[in-house]
Amino acid sequence: MRCFSCGKLSFEPVCKECVKDFLTPEMIETEIGNLEVVSFFDYYLTVEFIKSKYISSGYRVYKFIAKKFFAPFIKAYVEHLDNKEIYLIGVDENISRGYSNVALLSEFAARKAKIKALHGVLRAKNRVQYAGKSLEFRLNNPRNFKYTGPKNIQAILIDDTTTTGTTLEEAHRVLKENGVNVHFALTVANAREGVDY
């Protein structure tokens, strides 16, 4: 196969050189309300990979990111817990172009950590698109999440990008209302300036 980024022949969807040049984790930690959010990369340095979700071949990129970064991080976190019964919950695992990038992140990380991903349990009733929209627009058009999963559980919230934080904040609130204790949220990238993709 060829590297998604440079086009060179590679055994992986992203070759070792491009991983070294573009996918060296920064581990950005932010607080959104009372939710800790950990992101692996600065959005602006990895935008090419993040935007791969808009094309069908992005499936390979997100699967690679899940296995290479999410899985080891979550596995290490779970190994230090007394109670290892913790779930991964993806934010609005909407299927587009044949797959859900957030579901890929959750599923492949859960497999490696030997925990369970709860798929499709946190869905937005409002299908509004936030890409390119202002904070004001986001606040005036909430996602109206509905949670249908088990209550009184421990979880890690999974999403692809942190921008303004409104989506994660709303998701966290809905989970708390349903008895879900969210340890933290994990995202691929953080757009610190709040400029959307």
pTM: 0.89
For residue 11, is it within any domain? no
Identify the CATH number of the domain in which residue 130 sits.
Answer: 3.40.50
**Domain assignment of residue 120, yes or no:** yes
57-72: per-residue pLDDT in tens?
889 999 999 999 999 9
Report DSSP state, residue 53. G
Q: Which two tokens stand for residue 15?
A: 């070759």
* Cβ atoms within 10 Å, residue 153: 18
Residues in Cβ contact with 68 at an 8 Å cutoff, skipping those fewer than 6 apart: 19, 23
Domain count, the chain: 1
Q: Answer whether residue 48 is part of any domain.
A: yes
**Does residue 6 form part of some domain?**
no
* pLDDT attached to residue 72: 96
Bridge partners (DSSP) of residue 116 are: 87
pLDDT at 141 over 50: yes
Q: In this model, does residue 194 exceed pLDDT 70?
A: no
- Phi, psi of 73, rounded to the nearest 5 degrees: -65, -50
With respect to residue 81, please indicate whether it lies within any of the assigned structural domains: yes
Residue 9 bridge partners (DSSP):
2
Tokens linked to 87: 């779930």
Q: Is residue 195 part of a domain?
A: no
Residue 141 in domain:
yes
Range of the domain at 52: 24-190
User: E strands of the chain, at which residues?
Assistant: 28-32, 35-42, 86-90, 116-118, 122-124, 145-147, 153-162, 180-190
Is residue 47 one of the residues assigned to a domain?
A: yes
DSSP 8-state code for residue 57: T
SS3 for 153? Answer: strand
- pLDDT tens figures, 31-58: 999 999 999 999 999 999 999 998 888 8
Beta carbons of 195 and 70 less than 8 angstroms apart = no
Return the sign of the alpha-carbon dihedral for residues 66, 109, 97, 168.
negative
